[in-house]
Amino acid sequence: AGEVVAAYLSGGERAQPARTWDFEAAPGNEDVRLQSVSVVLVADAGETLITTRSELDIRISFWNLRPDTSINLSIHLHTWEGVCAFSTWSKPRVFGRGLIQGRCRIPANLLNEGGYRCRVFIVRNANSVLLDVPNTIEFDVHDIERDVPWYGKVPGVVRPSLDWTVDQVPGGSLPGAPVS
């Protein structure tokens, strides 16, 4: 029942926030095979709903089949409409054969409400794509209560909570108005 509720809360049938493959069925080739991709709430206090205020981890596990290989991970996060919200990548590191795990932290207050798909790349020497797997996971980001009395759809793919300051200019007056 908990899985059904989580599926409903995350947007229903099109959301697939985690995928795992066994070695034989995993997307891949003679160099690498993708084991799993998931989106996880960082502050998981029993919450199942991803909101615009959620801090998220995209977790990626893969098998490296070649010894001493310089590898980095990259993700492209797209909206369900196909717009690329952002692209990011890890620093290259040399890995031996075996299971490798990576994590990309998406800060709270970055993603706007809506649905997202994650495309995963495994890259050798920071310039040669070993594996490109589109639509590995899909998830919904839900709106939250706002501290303003406006509740329309906020435009844009991202919705960062940026540091603003707005102050009255001391001694500033309107043009043509007497100084008070």
Backbone φ and ψ for 7, nearest 5 degrees, come out as -65, -40
Residue 33 contacts residue 130 (beta carbons within 8 Å): no
Residue-level pLDDT at 18: 98
Domains contained in the chain, CATH given:
2-141 (2.70.50.60)
- pLDDT tens sequence across 39-90: 999 986 677 899 999 999 999 999 999 999 999 999 999 999 999 999 999 9
Contact (Cβ atoms closer than 8 angstroms) between residue 51 and residue 154? no
